[in-house]
Structure 1
């Protein structure tokens, strides 16, 4: 994952914290893309189906294959699902906090 991490001596605790921060950052990126796609779909309404909407979004904002697949899966799982709020306003509140750790 991080080539420079192997070259530098970090304590196990520092490595753990770094990997947790990286994972949280990646999750925040994925959730931002999902919220953006859902918002795009809401704006497009019935003009395009979800597959075409995802295709358009990926054309506008190219991303790594694994991020793209994760975003697509989450959008398909949430799209048109009852009780799923579109693009919550405070979705990243406390995303970089350890929750008491």
Structure 2
């Protein structure tokens, strides 16, 4: 019997997990991945806001992903969610396009651009 088998017998670390344990493991992993993505998006938005005077938002997101070493599948999700957050600040929602009683569209107020909202949420 090898030393590893003596130190780590299979009875302590079974190779097959129960179905219930596997399901809980998948749920916990999904929550952890979602928290990681959310944190990356908040930090990416803060990064974009910080570099907004020097580079464009697409370049800033590119730099963030490269410097933080975000792996490719995750980088795509982070960049997409960050762009969605930036887009929501720039493009008014369709529900804001209201029509008055005369049948003409009312003017849509310009949205306030606040790229540092993620930083403010983290401070709160």
**TM-score normalized by the length of structure 1:** 0.71
Distance 1:68 1:74, change over 3 A: same
Structure 2: stretches of 5+ with no match in the other structure:
1-13, 90-111
- Counterpart of 1:86 in structure 2 is 117
Coordinate RMSD, CA, aligned: 2.3
Query: Which has the bigger relative contact order, CA under 8 A and spacing at least 6?
Result: 1
Asked if residue 59 in structure 1 is aligned to residue 66 in structure 2, the reply is yes
Distance 1:79 1:47 in 2: 17
Name the count of aligned residue pairs: 84
Which moved further from structure 2: 56-65 or 41-50? 41-50
Aligned to 1:37: 44
Computing the radius of gyration from Cα coordinates, the structure with the larger value is 2
Query: Which portions of structure 1, spanning 4 or more consecutive aligned residues, are displaced by more than 3 angstroms?
Result: 82-85
Gap runs ≥5 in structure 1: 1-6, 91-101
In structure 2, the partner of 1:18 is 25
